[in-house]
Structure 1
Amino acid sequence: MVARQSQSLDGTWDFRHESDADWRQAPVPMPWQAAFADLRQTSGRASYRRSFSAPALQGRVAVLCFGAVGYFATVRVNGQELARHEGHWLPFEVTIPADLLKADNVVEVDCLLPDGNPDTWEGAPFAEIPHGKQSWYGPTGGIWQSVTLELRPAHHLTHCAIHADLATGRVDVALELTGGTAMVEILDPAGKVVGQGTSSTIANIQPWSPDAPALYTARVTVGDDVTTHTFGFRSLTTANGQMFLNGQPWYMRAALDQDYYPVGICTPPSLALLEDQLRKAKELGLNMLRCHIKVPDPRYYEVADRLGMLIWTEIPNVASLTEGSIRRMRETMQGILRRDGNHPSIVIWTLINEDWGTRTVDDAAHRAWLKAEYDWLKAADPTRLVVDNSACIPNFHVKTDLNDYHYYRSVPERRAEWDKLTAEFAGGADWTYTPFGDGERRGDEPLIVSEFGVWGLPNPDEVTINGAEPWWMETGGTWGDGAAYPHGVQFRFASLGLDTVFGGFDAFIRAVQWYQFDNLKYQIEVMRAHPSIQGYVITEFTDVHWESNGLLDMNRNPRVFHDVFGRINADVVIAPRLDRYSAKAGETLRLAPGIATGGKALGAAVLHYAMAGGVSGQVAIDATQPLSMAESGSIDLPVPVLSKAQTADVELRLTVDGAEVARNKVTLSLFPNRAVPSITLHVPDKTLAERARALGYVLADRDKADVTVVHGLAEADIRRIQAGARYLVLADGTLKTNGNLRVDGQDREQPYMPVLDDVPGIPRSSESALPNINLIARHGTMWRGDWIAGFSWIRRKGAFAALPGGPLVDLSYDRIIPHHVMTGFRTHEYAGAVHSGVVVGWVQKPAALIAERRVGKGLLVASTFRLCTDAPGVDPLASALWDALVQTAAQKGSAS
């Protein structure tokens, strides 16, 4: 007898899509959409073939092993059909009859990937197959994982399932054999035999964890067939709203990983890349990856086991819940358990993501199915946690081990919303569970913010494929109202004159990546300030095609903040906690830092603080239990006398016995004592006039004032501007307008006949009336600031040069950030007439926040910043921006 032998059939195969006239060459493994530019978005039918030489069987069995083929596969050898397989994600095997095998052979694989065309369904429409993110980033069909030919002894192992119990050290091994008798040996991480038989109890076990990924091996011998199978002793349990890894408190610091790659889409290019990206994940402070609604290449888990990374895995979603899709999801989960059940890195399963494929809000039967499926999976695998529906607004949980929820808000645009949502979630909000009385909530499920984050952007020069723009730059146009379309990003940047704002495109990329960091930093600090929240999942680990919220880009290049991110994504974190981020000379800023502990207790510590101007000190911190928040009390920071406005960092360091255990900083905008510009104002609105007077301005009659300040314009105002007046419009939403800056009505356009309603004429566009500027509420639009970020900027020139900070607005703006944007500006106007604006995603959807426009002989300056949020003088940034706007409106020759 001769032992098991393996021969790779990876490489070049003949390939023909149903749209092809002739055969061509395709790489295997790789989806055909990744291999061929003309087939990027195709589904349907395709065929593969290749020849192979088989060694002499010598009494062995020849088995073709397919890692994964999408979605239906028919396998023929030497013209004879041997097997049909359904399923995109999991392996299958085909035994080749001995009398069919020759010295030279041909294997053929016919594939079918369903789409929306009923002619290609074969009983399985795309909506009813587990497809995952193929509905987002495009289809992936064909042979996308490795193919091998194995020659096995007639009596051999076909499956090995291992259950290792950390509490007792007991190892139970379940085997499936074609015949014969098996011998099992258990080897410790050093390779020493420490147990024998299908049931063994191991002494002095070494637990597996991310910090110490101790792997044991089961060596199974069936005659001449010898195979090895790694496993580990570990547990992840919950109690009293907390999580425990191997019995010790544990805090989740995870990132969503969609497991997409630059060239192969879902096929990783090499083991080396998988290892490299996992090392980078650990550098970023991550202790878990949430492998998102897909089943990855098995090497993904092997690397996680070996290098030490916890994994949260999910069933690829369907789009509609039917008998067929229910069966396929169950079969997929059974296959996942069979293929991946031995991996100690996998600790959580998810059944449904965000109600995709189910309709829990509307259908009681779906909620009942979800609850039953949770019970089935817990019974099938009691060693792992199960999430029923990883939820987001408006859906919810029915029965789950983790009370996890997704929400996205960017800061400073929506800081107040982030704070309120997080506080409600931390308080055990009712909206995370079914309101229909059919759920089972224990009340102690750990709270996890399982998706949050905001976009940065990669540098296009660093995500090339073979030196060229990647094909995916032409995708994303249907997402985010067009904001997710990458191609032409540098052209749009240049066309809008943004180089005069940022100093060049590369500087812009660095700025938006630091914006992403500042968002994640703030949001993590807020979550860590609530000890009831036991972890989070950052969206996401890497960019995916047009989706640019990764901690790494698509090519696994780090963001600019890579080396410092681990300070905030750490087990122990200093949460600064302050109400506002701006102050003026002579004021005292009050900081209330908290110290969030993770999995380990913190001994008596010292919090050190220091700020420019010689302000420094330290505060004693009592010893703190794991998964808790230690309070430092308030720290008063006197703002020094300054000659000009500037930013200043408050450095925070935590030490225990002199050794640093945590570091953080908070950046403030500081202002000198204010000098009121010698500009007279006419302010018709009484409330606005009182604010101007309180800010120190001299008010005058309209014909004697330098600038008129209003919230909105009427016809009389337009006539005054045309005659030479200068106006500042604070278009902050105080007054109801007609979708522009005008508060007066406007007639419809000709022809005067009923068209779609009872009012004659065609409605005028809001831009058609002078000053030809639209005013649009951000709420409900892509300018709002959720998942795809809007990058709000101010050109630091003229009167605005005195404002502290960089081109992008920061947290000091959270009280005045606009709730409205202005459109109606031509591209060239963004290079000068627009002083502050916003672009969304890949530099799309430009809009103005501060702009000037010549109207006749006069000048109009309009701003949507909310300068009236606080009492006059309370927010020094609001005062400084008011002054800059007044100066811009009054400055002679400033009109574009």
Structure 2
Amino acid sequence: MQSAICTLVFSVLLAVPMYAQTTGTTLLVDIDHRPATSLNGEWHTIVDQYSTGLYNLHQQLRKDGFFMNAPFDPNGNPQDYNFANAPTLRVPGDWNTQRPELLYYEGPIWYEKDFQHTAAPNTRTFLHVGAANYRTVVWVNTKKICEHEGGFTPFDCDITAALHDGNNFVVLSVDSTRIADGVPTLQTDWWNYGGLTRDVSLVTVPTQFIDDYDLHLSKNDHSIIEGYVHVEGASPGTPVTVTIPELQAKVESTIDANSRAAVSIPAKSVSLWSPDNPKLYTVEISSGPDRIEDNIGFRTIETRGTQILLNGRPVFLRGISIHAEAPYRTGRAYSEKDVETLLGWAKELGCNYVRLAHYPHDERMTRAADRLGLMVWAEIPDYWALRFDNPAVLAKSKQQLAEMIRRDRDKASIILWSVANETPNTEARTKYLTAMVDLAHQLDPTRLVTAALLVRTEKTAAGSNKIVDDPLGKALDVIGVNEYIGWYEQHAEGADTTTWDIRYDKPLIMSEWGGDAKAGNHAPSGDIHPALWTEEYQAEIYRHQIAMLNKIPQLRGTSPWLLMDFRSARRVNPGLQDNFNRKGLVSDQGVKKQAFFVLQKAYKDKTLGKAE
């Protein structure tokens, strides 16, 4: 019996073409702490723009498609593919930045990998895919196993029945085609990196195995760690043990009719996780032959009026927004080195918080944030103009939200789940996203829920007034707002004459603000009105914004846009953008712009923002 959350994620068959459904998958939590056989490395690949490997010329599904991985026989029947002689791509990694001819490619690519396997008794083996953008179908030894839609969340496919001892092969079709009823939809302001962009591995577990758990500090009693452990395949009465050796805490519980064991652990001496004290405890969870060891921090996060309270104390979120763009090499970020560089810059800025936009980032990011003491805003790609009146699209959003929460629920660093960014204020949108907020609260009542909203502007005699009254704000715990005074409207000095009218008695995070500058592009020395696109003008935006932001009484955090330049197909101005959004405080090649140091000083001197 699967857990309620697992059923929620995977029971709905999406109303899209066959190869775009999410079927036959599950999601194992804490996969990075389980023994696994890595399938990372070189995979044979075939670019298949017309989906020839899946459909015949009459658009009928083929029985002899590329997934058969038939050996090439020059004396046999002719065939249009040969994986053995096909070029390779590195996994993990997007295909766009590995071959120049694939930089702009959007469509299907086939991946094939041979591997050895020896079956162990009383076990199940899963193929784990950390992320594949956007629609994926998996075959093992010619048998179709599962399908998944969504480019930034993990999935696991039970391949036990398809395996045999000795030589095996896996074939995946990964299709990055943007679709109107996808999440995200057709328009985004980031590069549509395709491929197997995160780790791929084989994970073998006992027949009865721990597939989900949640352990957190009780909001009402900080001396108790509470939660549950779900054991797939377990019958009622099956014992579960949770141990935290450093706290000398050990409890035993039993599985109920839903394969879930409730857990309550006395923990009077627990050291609370915070940016100043990113304490993680080794937690051991076992049931029967299965055992998991995780590193978990314990803290509380809540609101009181317009305050955000971390462990009961007011906190101001000094942050920065980050895209999952790899420094220096560009492409989708996935490695420990990528994480070390990006979060290292955030710490150098003086941040205690990061907004991981606009989709779930690699799990290495949230693990590192736990260790570094960086609070996290985590987001799904409900971005811009989704088809908010389409129930099938809502189902996809719910699936991605549930997958993100299930994967990252054990990360103390995550304090905010975000359900959207810059969506239009319509009745259909508000109904759709309110359902998303409700689901986030249902799946994880221990964290706050937010969204990055747009604002209304009214002209005043002195300048302008920004009004925050989006009806979605009624459902949110924390209001996020994006604004670009000095770039998409007015000049930098426009911030000096802008007032703010916040219609909600809730904490406010200025979730985006800033402007573009190409690193090394400078205004003439002494120019008091620096031109757009220069480092000097970007720095001016930051100076005026900081002064304006400090006048907003209920401001409780900022995450300006953004840490590092990133690829975007919308940004085509030659010589300045060249397919990059240049709002980064650091260039894609690691050059820090002047605005980096303006924000760094404000954060380190704590002259931007206050907790109460």
Q: Same fold, TM exceeding 0.5?
A: yes
- Distance in 2 between the 1:530 and 1:60 partners? 58
Question: Which residue of the partner structure matches residue 334 of structure 1?
Answer: 402
Q: 1:212 and 1:134, CA in 2 relative to 1: closer, same or farther beyond 3 A?
A: farther
- In structure 1, the residue corresponding to 2:361 is in which secondary structure? coil
Alignment of 1:619-768 (within 5 A): 627=612
1:519 match: secondary structure:
helix
Q: Aligned residues, how many?
A: 501
| 1:455 and 2:516 aligned | yes
Question: Quick one: which amino acid aligns to residue 364 of structure 1?
Answer: E
Q: Which residue of 2 aligns with 1:160?
A: 213
| Alignment counterpart, residue 364 of structure 2, candidates 299, 306, 310 | 299
1:538 aligns with 2:592: no
Question: Which of residues 112, 115, 128 is equivalent to 2:181?
Answer: 128
Decide which of 218, 239, 258 is 2:323's aligned counterpart. Answer: 258
Indicate the structure (1 or 2) with the bigger Cα radius of gyration: 1
Shift of 1:144: 1.2
Give the counterpart of 1:96 among 154, 159, 163: 159
Q: Which residue of 1 aligns with 2:418?
A: 350
Partner Cα separation in structure 1 for residue 377 and residue 274 of structure 2: 14
Distance (whole Å) between structure 1 residues aligned to residue 517 and residue 404 of structure 2: 34
Q: Deviations over 1:561-590 (max 9, x none)?
A: 6566432124632xxxxxxxxxxxxxxxxx
* Aligned AA (1:327): A
Contact 2:455 2:470 in 1 (8 A): yes
Q: Is the 8 A contact 1:242 1:446 kept in 2?
A: yes
Asked whether the 8 Å contact 2:566–2:588 carries over to 1, the reply is: yes
Q: Which amino acid aligns with 2:511?
A: S
**Residue 58 of structure 1, CA deviation:** 4.6
Question: Residue 402 of structure 1: CA displacement?
Answer: 2.3
**Secondary structure, in 3 states, of the residue corresponding to 2:303?**
strand
- The alpha carbon displacement at 1:229 in A equals 2.3
Matches of 1:247 and 1:297 in 2, distance apart? 30
Shift in alpha-carbon separation, 1:370–1:86, aligned structure 2, 3 A: closer
Instruction: State yes or no: 1:38 paired with 2:101.
Output: yes
274, 277, 292: which one aligns with 1:212? 277
Residue pair 1:65, 1:150 contacting (<8 A) in 2 also: yes
The equivalent residue for 1:844 is none
> Deviations for 1:283-317, whole angstroms, at most 9, x for unmatched residues?
21112111112111111100001111011122212
Query: Which residue number corresponds to residue 149 of structure 1?
Result: 202
**8 A Cα contact 2:539 2:598, kept in partner:** no
TM-score (norm 2): 0.75
* 1:28 paired to 2:91: yes
Residue of structure 2 in register with 1:524 after alignment? 546
Q: Which residue of 2 aligns with 1:414?
A: 491
TM-superposed CA distance for 1:240, in Å, is 2.7
Letter in 2 for 1:175: V
By how many angstroms is 1:30 displaced?
1.4
Quote the Cα distance in structure 1 between the aligned partners of 2:429 and 2:596. 42
Deviation at 1:258, TM superposition (A): 1.6
Pair 1:217–1:529, CA change in 2 (3 A): same
SS of the equivalent of 1:558 reads: coil
The residue matched to 2:480 in structure 1 has which SS? Answer: strand
Structure 1 equivalent of residue 506 of structure 2: 445
Amino acid at match of 1:525: A
Provide the rounded CA distance (Å) in 1 between the counterparts of 2:169 and 2:329: 25
SS at match of 2:96: helix
- Structure 1 distance, partners of 2:192, 2:345, is 28
Q: Give deviations 1:332-351, integer Å, cap 9, x for gaps.
A: 11111111112111111222
Q: Give 2:36's aligned amino acid.
A: S
Report if the CA contact (8 A) 1:348-1:384 is conserved. yes
Q: 1:207 to 1:561 in 2, by over 3 A?
A: same
Matched, 1:195 2:250: yes
Following TM superposition, by how much is the alpha carbon of 1:264 offset from its aligned partner in structure 2, in angstroms? Answer: 7.1
Change (3 A) 1:173 1:243: closer
Q: Which residue of 1 aligns with 2:223?
A: 169
What is the rounded CA distance, in whole Å, between the counterparts of 2:556 and 2:212 in structure 1? 37
Normalising to structure 1: TM-score of the pair?
Answer: 0.52
Displacement, 1:156?
2.2
| Conservation of the 8 A alpha-carbon contact between 1:571 and 1:598 | no
User: SS state of the match for residue 534, structure 2?
Assistant: helix
Give the conservation status (yes or no) of the 8 Å contact 1:133–1:293. no
**Which residue of 2 is the match for residue 790 of structure 1?**
none
For the pair 1:6 / 2:36, whether they are aligned, the reply is: yes
Counterpart Cα distance in 2 of 1:446 and 1:143: 38
Paired residues of 1:82 and 1:96 also in contact (CA < 8 A): yes
Cα separation, partners in 2 of 1:447 and 1:87, compared to 1, 3 Å: closer
CA contact (8 A) 2:327 2:341 kept: no
Q: Distance in 1 between matches of 2:41 and 2:394?
A: 35
Tell me: CA distance 1:44–1:186, structure 2 relative to 1, closer, same or farther (3 Å). Answer: same
1:187/1:193 contact within 8 Å kept:
yes
Q: Separation in 2 of the partners of 1:263 and 1:42?
A: 21
Q: CA deviation at 1:383?
A: 1.6
Instruction: Judge conservation of contact 2:454–2:483 (CA < 8 Å) in 1.
Output: no
Amino acid at match of 2:342: Q
Structure 1 pair 98–332 and aligned structure 2 pair: CA distance change class (3 A): closer
Equivalent AA in structure 1 for residue 479 of structure 2:
N
Contact in 2 for aligned 1:41/1:138 (Cα 8 Å):
no
Change beyond 3 A, Cα 1:245–1:560: same
The verdict on how the C-alpha distance between 1:165 and 1:30 changes in structure 2, with shifts beyond 3 A counting, is same
15-24 or 39-48, which deviates more: 15-24
Q: Distance in 1 between matches of 2:161 and 2:427?
A: 53
Alpha-carbon separation, structure 1, partners of 2:112 and 2:309: 50
C-alpha distance after superposition, 1:172-229 (max 9, x if no partner): 24222234645433326xx454332332121122111111111123211233432112
Counterparts of 2:266 and 2:247, CA distance in 1: 15
CA offset at residue 418 of structure 1?
1.2
1:57 corresponding residue in structure 2: 120
Matches within 5 A, 1:362-511: 363-388=426-451, 390-393=453-456, 396-398=470-472, 399=474, 400-410=476-486, 414-421=491-498, 423=499, 425=500, 427-428=501-502, 443-459=504-520, 501=524
User: Structure 1 residue 17 and structure 2 residue 39: aligned?
Assistant: no
The 1:5–1:401 alpha-carbon spacing in structure 2 relative to 1, beyond 3 Å, is: closer
Distance 2:127 2:497 in 1: 56
Kept after mapping to 2: 8 A contact 1:277/1:556: no
User: 2:134–2:177: 8 Å Cα contact kept in structure 1?
Assistant: yes
| 1:722-741 per-position Cα deviation (integer Å, ceiling 9, x unaligned) | xxxxxxxxxxxxxxxxxxxx
CA distance in 2, matches of 1:532, 1:6: 47
CA contact (8 A) 1:257 1:541 kept: yes
Alignment-mate amino acid for residue 405 of structure 1: V
Rounded Cα–Cα distance in structure 1 between residues aligned with 2:132 and 2:290: 27
Which range is displaced more, 262-271 or 239-248?
A: 262-271
Q: Give 1:274 deviation, angstroms.
A: 0.8
Of 380, 383, 391, which aligns to 1:323? 391
- Aligned pair in 2 of structure 1 residues 216, 39: CA closer, same or farther (>3 Å)? same
Distance change >3 Å, CA 560–CA 417, structure 1 → 2: closer
Instruction: Give 1:310's match in structure 2, choosing from 375, 380, 384.
Output: 375
What percentage of residue pairs aligned between the two structures are identical?
25
The residue matched to 1:131 in structure 2 has which SS?
coil
Query: Cα distance, 1:48 vs. partner?
Result: 0.4
Instruction: Please give the secondary structure, in 1, of the residue aligned with 2:549.
Output: helix
Q: 1:98 to 1:57 in 2, by over 3 A?
A: farther
Q: Cα RMSD over matched residues?
A: 3.1
2:592 corresponds to 1:558: yes
Are positions 1:598 and 2:592 aligned together?
no
Distance in 1 separating the partners of 2:323 and 2:293: 29
Where do 1:271-282 residues align within 5 Å?
A: 271-282=336-347
Change in Cα spacing, 1:451 to 1:182, as seen in structure 2 (3 Å) is same
Following superposition, the deviation at residue 26 of structure 1 comes to 0.6
